[in-house]
Structure 1
Amino acid sequence: MAGDTTAPAELDRPWTNTSLSPQERARELVAAMTLEQKIAQLHGAMDTIDIYSMKADTAEGMEQLAAQIRVERHVAAIEELGIPRFRITNGPVGVGMGDGTPSPPATALPMTIGLAAGFDPALAREYGTVIGSETATLGQHVLEGPGVCLHRTPISGRNFEYFSEDPYLSGVMGVEVARAIQEHGVIAMAKHYVCNDQEYERFRADVEVDERTLRELYLLPFEMLVKDADLAAIMSAYNRVRGTYATEHRYLLHTVLREEWGWQGYVQSDFWSCRSAAPAVNAGLDHEMPDAKWLNEDNVKAALADTSLEIETVDRALVRRYTQMFRFGQFDRPYDPGEIDAEGHGAISRRIGEQIAVLLKNDGAVLPLEPGVQSVVVIGQATYVDEACLGGGGSSKVDPLYTVRPMDGLRDVLQTLGSSADLREVTVADDLSNLAEAQAAAATADVVVIMAGLVATEGADQPDAHMLNDQDRMIAEVGQVNVRTVVVLKDGNPVLMPWIDAVPAVLEAWNQGAEDGHVVADLLFGVVNPAGKLPTTYPRSWADTPFAGHPERYPGTDEGAGYPVLRYSEGRQMGYRWYQAQGITPLFPFGHGLSYTTFELSDLAVSPERTDGAAPLTVQLTVANTGDVAGAEVAQVYLELPEAAQQPPKRLVGFCKIWLEPGAAERISVTIDPAATNHPLSVWDDGAHDFVVLPGEYTVFVGSSSEDTPLSATVTID
């Protein structure tokens, strides 16, 4: 045809025409595929492994399991159609298990729970940029993260992968991480959808949760990612929800995601969470990983033959995934893995790590330590003092490009400060058999730094909220021999602290990753000022939690179903909402975090004072640094709804982190938009099947934690 400039290859393979939309290209490709090719693309290509015969109740067990499955995480290529090998890597705390044997090393970042403690979307953006860049550099197409389940229980094995107990904070940080990942041509995959809030019996457990609690808490961060991050993919959970497996849950996978939220991405199963062929695909599952346990030729062809599955539904699943692959240019990008900028990304990791540490206690201003101190003894068990604390056992564990050990980091920083302090280390045996040696060393040192914590793991919840190996006794007995004892916690979960009165200072550093040694040293010696806030509540005792005396809430009870049933009967009273509603004072509340300086919040103004519930609210206040060193404060905005809303006392609806020099003050503004995806003024109404704003008086609280909110103002909604 005269004037036709379409290349012959594009005429034969119209899906290669880049002038078409991603969805149009996807439809053209699927239309050209044989049934066998379609089925081969519905699933991963890893050899089938019977994980149900494997036991992984400990961190060591998970590492052994991980070693067995540390092979190609991909969907096989179809060269004649130009379909590339679809490479998938785990997250969300860095580039974890990727496609290859072994998985390529990457930057070991701080755990996600620590990132949330930064209360800073800009930090989340940097975090996601490192992950997205490295995923792309290594030639991978998908990063399985961020994880936005909530910290419902303090002992969940994957809290380290999740942000927070608060859905709004989790959503804000998750949106920035996902956006940054996808800016590098990589598919971000939010997980685990939904209510995978515990690891105990995760393959079998059923979560019973009312609709209002589900919408206002557990679905909310996923809704924010879908709507605000233009999210490409979601990973479904292992567990049942209201008796139906998450991978077969049409209400969640279709009604909520597609019809209500208008989402256009694709749903992948968590590894081996797929439980059927036709029911799963009909419900809205688009892709089975890591193999073809269910979506294989025999099952799919049989389902098509008996019409329990339609070919149009199979096509729909493939079009959804290919649309995202075309959207990010993955068909047009050759596999050409490069070299990660280890030094540059390590510097970013160090900067992030230093801004997320939380100063929990600092009686007598023991911290920061003076560089002129004569002697420092570092005491702790090997995991926390001998090597960098990478944290995060299980499939998301990162193989680090390098690490900085605690003692090496201290030496580097002290040398930079020109200090001649004598450093000594005592590694305490896990059975505390040499505790007397540690006490003797502590008694003669100017300063004692105890490093303690825990490394949680996928596949197993902690037995309780105490640190393992009797570390509580280690801290209590070492702390009592030296009044200048600092505890540095390296963990991915809130821990009980029966020893809290025995030490004057506690710094929550989290599982820091590669730059552990440098980060902790910078914080201890005041090179940087701690600026983190707790993203989850630290209880005084297990008896104060919603689960004491309530096995139906956790770990669940067998109600004749043949599997554990977990009842979220605490409802919306989860996290700090529980403690406030019950009048229980936690050890350290959500949002708590001290500084080496002091701050004052004042002059709160909220406008308008009366509204129809549709206009945004503007919250303004002045933040002043009243101390002697530069630092950051996080002004947190909470809202109390009218009594008719039947809500816990406060919900987080906004925050602003601001850095100030000594003596400086700045007026800040936080906007609370009723139309925002977190529905800040709304409650879920079952009758309307929607979020609604109720008339009445709303109280705006502003402060430096969920418990410390000295400023307040009232807004009336007509």
Structure 2
Amino acid sequence: MNNEHTTTPELNVLAHSSHNGSFPWMDKSLSPRERAEKLVAAMTLEQKLAQLHGAMETINIYALPTADEMNAMSAEEQEQLMAQIQVQRHVKGIEELGIPRFRITNGPVGVGMGDGHPSPPATALPMSIALAAGFDPGLAREYGDIIGSETATLGQHVLEGPGVCLHRTPIAGRNFEYFSEDPYLSGVMGVEVTKAIQAHDVIAMGKHYVVNDQEYERFRTSVEVDEHVLRELYLLPFEMLVKDADIAAMMSAYNRVRGVYATENRYILNDILRDEWGFQGYVQSDFWSCRSCAGSLNAGMDHEMPDAKWCNETNIKNALEDTSLEIQTVDRALVRRFTQMFRFGQFERPYNPGVIDAKKHGAISRKIGSQTAVLLKNDGGMLPLDPKAYGTIVIIGQSEFVDDACNGGGGSSKVVPLYTVPPVEGMQEVLQSLGSNALVSKVTVAKDLANIGEAKTAAAEADLVILMAGLVASEGADLPSPNMLNNQNRMLDELLEVDTPTVVVTKDSSPVLMPWIVKAPAVLEAWNQGTEDGHVVADLLFGVVNPSGKVPTTYPVSEDDLLYAGHPERYPGTDEGNGFPVIRYSEGLNMGYRWFQSQGIKPLFPFGFGLSYTSFALSEFSVTPAQADSKSPVTVRVTVTNTGKVAGAEVVQVYLGIPVTGQPPKRLVGFQKVFLEPEQSQEVIIMIDPSATNHPLSVWDYCARDFVVKPGEYTVYLGTSSEDTPCKATVVVS
């Protein structure tokens, strides 16, 4: 393993003190904005225009492969393509002004496609969906700390993440980059990741703003969504990023919002983001999401990436000439970005990439992964396994899940890992550390199941079978269905017939259907784990770590249970004569667990669900005050007791029933993860503050054009999943 990076000679004049006197914008006694304004005032028109866009040679986005063509490519071909088009993720520096080359790297699941070729390797972390399953802001801080540290070490200025779009459907191709189906959970985790990234003087960039909840026809689709739905669900985590994390940048989405491209949507980019929320950062286009020059800049987009397809010198000069664009608007865009660069000391920092502490960060990734996996089923307490009870163990599955660590997530966020721990090697190492002499082997099943007979024979001859299956999604295309690909359901169904103790480990980017689950005594959702896959799975199966993850997005029993079943207008959209597909969020607020509860549909695994190797009891529940005004916090208390025999963690979840017509039955408003030793108890206190940025008691009021707390009887639910809420009380709000 070699993770050293050589220093590339390039612009470092910005660090030389000789320029500080001649560059008034290098005066640190000035505010970042004052410095940015002085810099822009000193720039020529040509210099300004060169700073409005990335440095990649302009290409035709329509010449890129279609979703079907991408799906037909091998993983290696997809990676080569993405590497080819994303090696120049920067803005060229201007030496005579001391402006550094502005380096941008992708996220949000680690340092992905960074500036330079090849992309610098980094720690491949568990996917964002896995992090959300941890239901732990502390884990999110550790996760963001690794990303921020490695971004800074590699000399990059911007990390494109976190992603806080919602899991509206389980088939969306980028669900692995996003946290969950719930806006509050997504916002909480995104805020902590953002704070941790920016603590390393790296610009964090929230994405994809907004309603980029599907990859299907992402360059063309228009999303039609009611204002209260947009505000209460899809905008909410972005609002939390701005108000709670002071995020430095936003990335505008590919899609249209109500017929207007997100990069040209002044209502979204200016009226809401800046005027209402007070955002002080800058807006970057997603790669090739910019669709105009004057229109985008006027609307509030400040920086085109990755090239100058629209914001080039010719277009901008023409727009200035015909007055469809004002020079003050150009200046505004540059001041916004330079302000953030000065805020984080990026003009003073020379490019001097260092060496990532792969071992240290890998250990943290292993910890994060082990606390985010979800124990979905454990009949008869089969897990944890006794490491000394088996002489031979066979791991069976298709190549992506058994041959190497499952470093999932295709597309621009793909991380080139510093190292990986494959399943067999990782399990063997963990077993040896536990004093076991068990021999671990594997059988790689062909995608067409041509060698399923060999796999059955190996399963029958082993003392223990670990079946590994899953789903690795990718940017650029949605999944055809929530089923695992390449006949894996049939593979599991047949292998679960073998009369050998068997555990199923799923490694998913998104919730999947499990038609075989009645045959499986134990199922562990490990997600796409990245670097430490082999160790994490073994730690959990053999009880080194007690699983404590919770499902961040509902698992359906059938695709017929999903909100788009029988409703093509909801997904994939319909052609309404506009010349582009239109997707209508006609389900309103009933998305995710809200959909299942409002329709009376029983899910396979509800939002917030997750088992443990121990048991917990809730007692001494109380909610105060019983009567409150619209501004008074509500305090929820409960005592959690570990009633089992091993240490473990439980996630206490608080939901509200809002007494307003059209509201879903429950809304998550608070949660806390509690780690307890056997027989240990702890009081948990969760505050529901009406003034919090997630507007826990409020609904969007069309007349007030604001969030408003309506009077009435609010129901407070407390439990350990969205369905399991045995504690209940009411609060009357005047």
Q: TM-score, normalised by structure 1?
A: 0.98
Asked if residue 700 in structure 1 is aligned to residue 710 in structure 2, the reply is no
How far apart are residue 63 of structure 1 and its match? 2.3
- Write the distance in 1 (CA, Å) between the matches of 2:421 and 2:374: 20
Aligned to 1:23: 33
Q: 1:53 aligns with which of 55, 60, 63?
A: 63
Counterpart of 1:531, as a letter, is S
Aligned to 2:279: 263
Aligned to 1:334: 350
Question: Is the CA contact 1:625–1:665 (under 8 Å) kept in the aligned structure 2?
Answer: yes
Q: 1:367 aligns with which of 359, 383, 408?
A: 383
- Write the distance in 1 (CA, Å) between the matches of 2:631 and 2:250: 31
- Write the distance in 2 (CA, Å) between the matches of 1:515 and 1:696: 50
- Write the distance in 1 (CA, Å) between the matches of 2:236 and 2:168: 14
Asked if residue 121 in structure 1 is aligned to residue 130 in structure 2, the reply is no
How far apart are residue 482 of structure 1 and its match? 2.7
Aligned to 1:295: 311
- Write the distance in 1 (CA, Å) between the matches of 2:398 and 2:81: 25
Aligned to 1:3: none
Percent sequence identity is 72
Question: Is the CA contact 1:645–1:694 (under 8 Å) kept in the aligned structure 2?
Answer: no
SS of alignment partner, residue 640 of structure 2: strand
- Write the distance in 2 (CA, Å) between the matches of 1:257 and 1:202: 22
Aligned to 1:201: 217
Aligned to 1:71: 87
- Write the distance in 1 (CA, Å) between the matches of 2:285 and 2:440: 50
Q: 1:435 aligns with which of 446, 452, 458?
A: 452
Q: 1:142 aligns with which of 135, 154, 158?
A: 158
Counterpart of 1:179, as a letter, is K
- Write the distance in 2 (CA, Å) between the matches of 1:390 and 1:97: 14
* 668-677 vs 56-65, which moves further: 56-65
* 1:10-65 residue CA offsets vs partner (Å, 9 max, x unmatched): 55321011100000000000000000000000000011122211215226364242
* 1:90-137 residue CA offsets vs partner (Å, 9 max, x unmatched): 000000011111111000000000000000000000000000000000
> Compared with structure 1, are the counterparts of its residues 678 and 12 closer, same or farther at alpha carbon in structure 2 (3 Å cutoff)?
same
Asked if residue 510 in structure 1 is aligned to residue 520 in structure 2, the reply is no
How far apart are residue 562 of structure 1 and its match? 1.1
- Write the distance in 1 (CA, Å) between the matches of 2:478 and 2:308: 29
Aligned to 1:556: 573
Q: Name structure 1 gaps, 5 residues minimum.
A: 1-6
How far apart are residue 583 of structure 1 and its match? 0.3
- Write the distance in 2 (CA, Å) between the matches of 1:168 and 1:597: 28
* 1:382-409 residue CA offsets vs partner (Å, 9 max, x unmatched): 1100110000000000000000000000
- Write the distance in 1 (CA, Å) between the matches of 2:425 and 2:21: 62
Question: Is the CA contact 1:56–1:65 (under 8 Å) kept in the aligned structure 2?
Answer: no
Asked if residue 169 in structure 1 is aligned to residue 185 in structure 2, the reply is yes
Q: 2:639 aligns with which of 622, 637, 642?
A: 622
Q: 1:392 aligns with which of 405, 409, 413?
A: 409
* 1:282-331 residue CA offsets vs partner (Å, 9 max, x unmatched): 00000000000000010000000000000001000000000000000000
- Write the distance in 1 (CA, Å) between the matches of 2:103 and 2:669: 38
Aligned to 2:496: 479
Counterpart of 2:38, as a letter, is E
* 65-74 vs 697-706, which moves further: 65-74
- Write the distance in 2 (CA, Å) between the matches of 1:9 and 1:105: 34
Q: Structure 2 matches for 1:574-613, cutoff 5 A?
A: 574-613=591-630
- Write the distance in 1 (CA, Å) between the matches of 2:94 and 2:282: 20
Question: Is the CA contact 1:96–1:399 (under 8 Å) kept in the aligned structure 2?
Answer: yes
Question: Is the CA contact 2:83–2:113 (under 8 Å) kept in the aligned structure 1?
Answer: no
* 479-488 vs 357-366, which moves further: 479-488
Counterpart of 2:58, as a letter, is T
Question: Is the CA contact 1:266–1:286 (under 8 Å) kept in the aligned structure 2?
Answer: yes
* 1:586-625 residue CA offsets vs partner (Å, 9 max, x unmatched): 0000000000001111221111110112111111001010
Asked if residue 417 in structure 1 is aligned to residue 427 in structure 2, the reply is no
Question: Is the CA contact 2:472–2:508 (under 8 Å) kept in the aligned structure 1?
Answer: yes
- Write the distance in 2 (CA, Å) between the matches of 1:8 and 1:479: 72
Q: 1:463 aligns with which of 472, 480, 489?
A: 480
SS of alignment partner, residue 269 of structure 2: helix
- Write the distance in 2 (CA, Å) between the matches of 1:80 and 1:538: 57
Q: Name structure 2 gaps, 5 residues minimum.
A: 1-16
- Write the distance in 2 (CA, Å) between the matches of 1:254 and 1:70: 29
Q: 2:465 aligns with which of 421, 424, 448?
A: 448
SS of alignment partner, residue 71 of structure 1: coil
- Write the distance in 2 (CA, Å) between the matches of 1:433 and 1:11: 72
SS of alignment partner, residue 356 of structure 1: coil
Aligned to 1:546: 563
Aligned to 1:668: 684
* 255-264 vs 60-69, which moves further: 60-69
Aligned to 2:695: 679
Q: 1:402 aligns with which of 397, 410, 419?
A: 419
* 1:623-674 residue CA offsets vs partner (Å, 9 max, x unmatched): 01011100000000000011x3420000000001000001111111011110
SS of alignment partner, residue 652 of structure 2: strand
Aligned to 2:170: 154
- Write the distance in 2 (CA, Å) between the matches of 1:442 and 1:248: 57
Counterpart of 1:150, as a letter, is L
Counterpart of 1:447, as a letter, is L
* 1:459-478 residue CA offsets vs partner (Å, 9 max, x unmatched): 00011110011000110110
Question: Is the CA contact 1:448–1:482 (under 8 Å) kept in the aligned structure 2?
Answer: no
Counterpart of 2:568, as a letter, is P
- Write the distance in 2 (CA, Å) between the matches of 1:100 and 1:612: 56
Counterpart of 2:320, as a letter, is L
* 1:547-591 residue CA offsets vs partner (Å, 9 max, x unmatched): 111000000000001111000000100000000000000000000
How far apart are residue 8 of structure 1 and its match? 8.5
> Compared with structure 1, are the counterparts of its residues 340 and 568 closer, same or farther at alpha carbon in structure 2 (3 Å cutoff)?
same
How far apart are residue 377 of structure 1 and its match? 1.5
SS of alignment partner, residue 490 of structure 1: strand
- Write the distance in 2 (CA, Å) between the matches of 1:238 and 1:16: 36
- Write the distance in 1 (CA, Å) between the matches of 2:457 and 2:33: 69
Q: Structure 2 matches for 1:162-241, cutoff 5 A?
A: 162-241=178-257
- Write the distance in 2 (CA, Å) between the matches of 1:407 and 1:10: 57
